[in-house]
Amino acid sequence: MSFVPKTQPFNGKINTVTLGTGDKAVVIGGQNVLPFYTFDAPIENAPKIGVEISDLANEWTAPGLKEFYAGCTTMAERAKKAETMPGADFICLHFESADPNGENRSTAECVADAVAVAEAITMPIVIMGCKNMEKDGELFSKISEALQGKNILVMSARSEDYKTVGASVALAYGQKVGAETADDINLAKQLNIMLKGLSIAPQNIVMNIGTAAVGYGYEYVASTLDRVRAAALAQSDADLQMPIIAPVSPDTWSVKESSASEEDEPAWGNCEERAINMEVATASADLIGGADAVIMRHPDAVAAIKKFITELV
């Protein structure tokens, strides 16, 4: 008598969220099993990889990045090049320079960049701001209006500004909204409830529950991912069944292990290799924990994670 394994799919299921339009649109979420548990049930939609394009990308010094984007001077040119990166599923525009405490680039300039990118590529677009709440609120609203009909995801709505961001992004212009919290299942659930209270459909909400470079308090990230996914699947908690996106690259490229020069830390080896390894280690940990999409930067890291996903799904 042959052995027939007992499968354990859950009754709870992660919502599906569609990003973008046309042939290049991607769907995240949809599974009713733990990450990569394909022996329990098929994974409806494999995790997706986004490529970060910063408006400060001219300051990137990693040789591999400089080589890949050689000849590109604008966000649109870099986005068009990133669209050809093997493993890429969507493009994330990171408007770091809008920060009033930094370059304080105008909202109009950022919107013009977003429009140029939307005209140059066909992949879905995700928007990240500068972490200044007032500037981000204005930026998110204007970009959502300018890219109406493109079905973009705008990160992030936080508990302090969810009404403003949620209303302008999702309700006024029909875009998807990212709910950002910091490694706390209760805060994540509460924010989702508040966004739904604005009449935003769950299928228009993606969670960013917080991430960090491995080794930098990552145990809090891992614990939160596990608890959120368990509640969504095992407990069928509808307030935690939104798919999860993890912006890996901003965290991993800013830590000392990725940025310290070989002159300062000769024992650590090649600086670019360290950054790639940090990005791969963090992205793979996020995916194993339950992230449905990760945002990355280096072509080699993207290729490694694409192989990781393909072989497990």
- What digits encode the pLDDT tens for the residues 140-173? 999 999 999 999 999 989 999 999 999 999 999 9
Count how many Cα atoms sit within 13 Å of the Cα of residue 213 in the half-sphere of its side chain. Answer: 18
pLDDT, tens digit (0-9, with 9 covering 90-100), for 233-278: 999 999 999 999 999 999 999 999 999 999 999 999 999 999 999 9
Checking if the pLDDT of 1 tops 70, the result is: no
Give the span between the Cα atoms of 204 and 25, in whole angstroms: 14
Pair of tokens at residue 236: 């069928």
Give the C-alpha separation, 276 to 305, whole Å: 11
**CA dist., res. 225 & res. 142, Å (int):** 32
pLDDT of residue 179: 97
Confidence of residue 6 (pLDDT cuts 50, 70, 90): confident
Strand partners, 49: 294
* C-alpha to C-alpha distance for 154 and 109, rounded to whole angstroms: 17
Q: What percent of the chain has pLDDT over 90?
A: 95
Of 144, 159, 276, nearest to 204 by C-alpha is 144
| Structure confidence by residue, pLDDT tens digits, 128-140 | 999 999 999 999 9
Q: How far apart are CA 187 and CA 178, in angstroms?
A: 14
pLDDT at residue 3, rounded to an integer: 80
- The answer to whether residue 91 scores a pLDDT higher than 90 is yes
Per-chain mean pLDDT for the chain: 96
Q: How much is the pTM?
A: 0.96
Sheet architecture: strand order including 153-157: 205-208, 176-180, 153-157, 125-128, 90-94, 48-54, 293-296, 245-247
Cα(8)–Cα(218) distance, integer angstroms: 28
Asked if 186 and 159 count as a contact pair (C-beta separation under 8 A), the reply is no
Q: Could you give the C-alpha distances from 194 to 60, 138, 158, 166, 190, in angstroms and in order?
A: 38, 21, 10, 10, 6
Within 146-250, strands assigned E span: 153-157, 176-180, 205-208, 245-247
Q: How far apart are CA 167 and CA 158, in angstroms?
A: 13
What is the total residue count of the chain? 313
Distance CA 176, CA 300 (A): 29
pLDDT of residue 8: 86
